[in-house]
Homo-oligomer: A and B are copies of this chain.
Amino acid sequence: MIDFLRAYKNYDPAAKSLFEVALLYPGPRALFFHRIAHFLFQIKLQFIARLVSEVSRFLSLIEIHPGAKIGKRLVIDHGCGVVIGETAVIGDDCIIFHGVTLGGTSTESVKRHPSLGNKVMVGTGAKVLGPITLGDGSKVGANAVVTKDIPPGKTAVGIPAKIL
């Protein structure tokens, strides 16, 4: 837990203490609720799970579907407008900025949201859509629209996103 809060503090020069991060940062708040919602989702209490995620959205402005699988030390910075879909998968040590969508492009009940590796960074306002893979250490520029895989370590920017 301390480990997790430290990830924010190390990364954000505006953070003055772990205490501040725990109480006043929306990202840790949303992930705290998500741990509960995801547990409820796994034991098939789907309505209560969604109720928890909706309360979390109200209190953090971050929307994470209870079904999403999230790794360790995810930093969601600022967070307003973030949407993470039901079948999204996020690895360890990723950073997601406000306004980012990990969204679906299918109306079938299949794996329809992105999978992020470890140490992936998604810039503010970027939309990552469909069951694509963002490799370890890849980056997405602000306001980019990504609908194809990004290889490990590469950066994608623009609409539609092109790999640099």
Contact = CB atoms under 8 A, between A and B. Distances in A.
A143 interface: yes
A68 B100 CA distance: 24
A43 B100 CA distance: 35
A78 interface: yes
A32 interface: no
Contacts of A51: 23-24
B99 A125 contact: yes
Interface of A is mostly: loop
A89 interface: no
> So how many copies of this chain end up in the complex?
3
A73 interface: no
Contacts of A103: 97, 124
A67 interface: yes
A136 interface: no
Interface string A105-131: 011111010000000000111010100
A50 B143 CA distance: 27
Contacts of A76: none
Given A14-B85, A51-B24, A80 B63 contact: yes
Interface of A: 10-14, 16-17, 19-20, 23-24, 26, 46-47, 50-51, 54, 57-59, 61, 63, 65, 67, 78, 80-81, 83, 85-86, 97-99, 101, 103-104, 106-110, 112, 123-125, 127, 129, 141-145, 157-160
